[in-house]
Amino acid sequence: MEMCRKTLLEKYFFMFVFLIFFISIPKILYGYFYDIIYLETSGYYSLLRGFSIVFIAGNFYVTSLSPNSLHPYGYSKYVKMGQFLVALGIGIISLLLISHALIGKYSYQKVPFIDMSGYIIVLLSVTFYLLLIHSMKKVQFPLQEEKKYNHSNNMKKEVALTIITLIGLVGIEYGYFFLDIVLSIFFFSFLVKETLSVIWESSSFLSDTSSLDEKQICNLVNSIDGASECHNVRAHGTDSDLYVDLHVCMDPKIKIIQTKPIVEQIESSLKASYSSVRDVTVHIEPIKKKGDFI
């Protein structure tokens, strides 16, 4: 299944990037040159959402490559750091540019101008976005936090935002220029929310805010034949994307090859009990007898 996802990602990844730029850049440029601030703001919002999808796709692809697949947590850190920096960068740049546009609009009394190309850009934008969501459904990202980018609500949300955008264009074309400010605030609130959401999720992952009950974990591990004295349980990542690291003792007389099915059972049991667990690293130690020195 994962190999299938990886193959699909290889097929669709660059299409994701292509679609994201065609979803966002035309709106940003049209809004900038035609003095329609809300359309420019909408473009930055689309760009941020798009880059979030790209980083998610990139994260899954990189961590699925061997030997990365053996230790995906470390590689996910780099991806999350990139996601954090991009969100922060887009948030700051868009804030500065939108503020500059607002100041310029009222300093020089700029009047928005609408032509047919504006409607075409908006309609093409939603078409590309729906195509992007359709492509992502085929990939089927496994992590819980990524399901929000696969859900059908995305389509409903994008269609609703497109209708609002089109209403704004019609209103401005007929002289209701105040709609530009109203919709700018509306889309800017979405942009701020998305920026803070990405920054929060990324920083939570980077700072290992997740936590698991060590006692429950150890009780589960110790119930498996061949495993005992579970200790030093650590969880990394977020509550929806966990990487578990633990130590377990085994009979020193058994061969290394015999420990493999025990380790696999520990991993499968933890993943079955905790749906958010993505990876489990088990460190094996020999059972210490009384009188042994550490």
Q: Give the pLDDT confidence of 35-45 residue by residue, as tens digits.
A: 888 888 888 88
- 9 neighbors 2 (Cβ within 8 angstroms): no
Give the pLDDT score at 1. 46
pLDDT at 143 over 50: no
Amino acid 168: pLDDT = 92
| Integer-rounded Cα radius of gyration of the chain | 25
CB crowding 189-210: b at 16 or more within 10 Å, else e: ebbeebbeebbebbbbbbebeb
pLDDT exceeds cutoff 60 at 294: no
pLDDT averaged over every residue in the chain: 76
pLDDT at 135: 66
Residue 20 structure tokens: 């994201």
Do 27 and 187 touch, CB atoms closer than 8 A? no
H or E segment at 280?
A: strand 277-286
Rounded-to-integer distance, Cα 60 and Cα 200, Å = 20
Is the pLDDT at 61 greater than 60, yes or no? yes
- Indicate the pLDDT class of residue 144, thresholds 50, 70 and 90: very low
Top-confidence residue, 156 or 29: 29
Bridge partner residues of 277 (DSSP): 242
Is a pLDDT exceeding 70 seen at residue 249? Answer: yes
Ranking 72-76, 104-108, 194-198, 233-237 by mean pLDDT, the lowest is 72-76
d(CA 83, CA 205): 11
* Contact between residue 206 and residue 84 where contact means Cβ atoms under 8 Å apart: yes
| pLDDT at position 106 over 50 | yes
Is the predicted pLDDT of residue 136 greater than 80, yes or no?
Answer: no
